[in-house]
Chains A and B, each alone.
Chain A
């Protein structure tokens, strides 16, 4: 399931604030961020998904979790399924992770399908994504 524009945009941010995020970036990135902000704004007008190929998605977070849970043993709860994700680029804030993602997930073993909410940290690992923390990784 791809992350749609609605998931990308924080619900309490006005459209202009989202676009401004791109426009107020540092001088070196200014031009790129300008384009980025304009693309997002344009996508919002058209109601089109603006998820970029570089951002984590539900499926990539799921894949990162499954890879991690195979090797982490008891530090991980198994059988978790990510159902929704909204990611925030935090490359400048954290040396360990590029993105902090709000995720909703369930346990496939739970007949009540209890919904869990977490903030997970993921980072790029070549062509894949690595789960740094969250999703019950302790």
Chain B
């Protein structure tokens, strides 16, 4: 069975170094401390009310030894200091109730809860010369280090503040500045949204029918997201419990929380003192300083020698003599952590194994993960439980090919060991490799298996494995290094009580598409929306699609990351007047506006995502989920455009990898030598630049103004982002103000 990610021409470099790693010359070493779960702040009586202070703080788990012989330092990251809020305070008390871990915390919520956050900005000034985008239009204030909060993956309205309720929902246009850094100067170009000083209040409702799963939070300041996430500003959110949707096939009881782990993957580049070249020129850096304007070439992709230690990090490399000269990072170190720990030990002591909930909280880095048995050097098979916070649910007759499509080619899908018929509520999906682009989450069942993937007991001497980032190259773009992330120890002995063959999943991918599910049922509180029904905000005509281009606004200028747009009819013809050229993000000019469906119900749209770059991008949209589909699929197929046509289910994603464009021989030299590896729309239309669109079905169920973008934050900050507005329905049968339109607009559903 083909590996779809390779089909998308993402090259997995298999150098001598990689083969050495696979042979175990570096793997199998004992880990450091046992992995510690993130500290949990849990809701009580339906509310979690916290103070979240963004501030600079030394990271005690990371010890950097400068090459000049000076004393070891703990790099200073930017973290969230969090405590339960009692009143109108803006500081957390000293003591065990206050947590400021670089590794991140977990906000544990339930369906129907409300998350209240007072975000306080105590971040330091940034040296303007070390920022890439401070010279972009409207961005002159970035060096003041504004911030905000995005609850990634939550299906909750993107609500703006009102006079009656001056709190925000998941609204990423707001910026809060630290007044100690100065007052931002008004910009003469586009306004990026509300500007507040020192603190901002969020109130984020979790719908009663929200999928239960894994989500996360991070800042979302345009032009600065990369820097702030790289410095450590991220944590995770869970809704409900893993056992809400899964149980062992033997015990028929909800999967116990004691057998659930949360793995928050972060990385940060720490410099040795000296001079580093930034876009603006050379800047002085000090020992232990974090390079928050990340450089993917910080390390070599694979170890340079058999003795190079890649456990939890890699040494800085000297790129100063390269053909395309870069910096000399010798003496620095790129730290990779799991819950803030370098190369921890994960002890799987229960014979039934554990559900691991993984989050890629990197700014730009993509992981290619394998859990490699240290004895056989083969990847262990794992069962896929959930993707991007929504537990999967596939009919028993789903083909492997359909599984790969639905999963967005993010997993190497392998055959699961046979399971007696009639036992499981949905088809188990087994994987041996996970590609996690930035912001991805994946939940997997990890238990010891033999070389054929059958679950078994470890040998009496025990068994170990290594969680590996095997290294990944993003088409013609970034190369991500191979790193050993964690050591896993499987305890021998004991008896399985919960599982015989597989986990039994009743996934929210099915539940959410049923009549009262979040992607089907009436959208609540549309009368309280801060976006109004609008006659200019029309639904897509029947059979029409939205087409999004991923490329550059000017292919002759590097890094002009941009999105383009057009609407196409059922015959694939472009609808006149709908085209927008590839443009950098302008928050004052949303690209898409659409209304909910009649009766204020979720509305489905089909989007085509067209990749013009020879470097991988991914597509992420806020306030929504989507299914990757095939336009040619039969109406009752699991990969059909609309889920209700086959009864619901599948795999829901909030980000999907795009392949790479392939310029043909006629234009290849031009594209790579003169166009920075990016095709134009005209070249794609002419067929000289091959790129098969990724087609997705998006059920829009949340109101507000939000965004869609590439979640490689270097690209997002560079402008590969666009605005979208979802407003209440105001068509026939609606009595409020605003225009109506013919009912035939909705016949596509």
Contacts and interface: CB of A to CB of B under 8 A. Distances in A.
B180 interface: yes
A16 interface: no
A119 interface: yes
B198 A114 contact: no
Interface stretch (B23-31, B157-165, B269-277, B361-369): B157-165
B529 interface: yes
A67 interface: no
Contacts of A133: 186-188
A90 interface: yes
Contact of B164 (A13, A88, A90, A113): A113
A49 B196 CA distance: 23
Interface string B166-195: 100000001000011001111111110011
A36 B160 CA distance: 39
Interface stretch (A26-34, A39-47, A104-112): A104-112
B194 A117 contact: yes
A35 interface: no
B405 interface: no
Contact of A114 (B90, B161, B190, B195): B161
Give the residue among A100, A120, A136 with the most B Cβ atoms within 10 A.
Answer: A100
Interface residues of A, number: 30
B198 A11 contact: yes
Interface of A (DSSP majority class): strand
Nearest to B194: A117
A118 B191 contact: yes
B198 A134 contact: no
Interface residues of B, number: 29
A13 B571 CA distance: 63
A24 interface: no
A120 B187 CA distance: 9
Contacts of B194: 115-118
B20 interface: no
Contacts of B191: 118, 136, 138
B197 interface: yes
B294 interface: no
A118 B197 CA distance: 10
Contacts of B300: none
A83 B184 CA distance: 20
Which of A12, A88, A116, A132 neighbours the largest number of chain B CB atoms within 10 Å of its CB? A12
B530 interface: yes
A119 B186 contact: yes
B167 to A, nearest CB: 10
B197 A115 contact: no
13 contacts: A12-B179, A12-B198, A102-B183, A113-B162, A114-B161, A114-B530, A115-B163, A118-B186, A119-B183, A132-B186, A133-B186, A133-B187, A138-B190
Given A88-B183, A102-B196, A119-B184, 8 more contacts: A13-B179, A114-B161, A115-B160, A115-B161, A115-B163, A117-B194, A119-B186, A119-B195
Which 3 residue pairs of A and B lie closest in terms of their CB atoms, listed nearest first? A117-B194, A133-B186, A113-B163
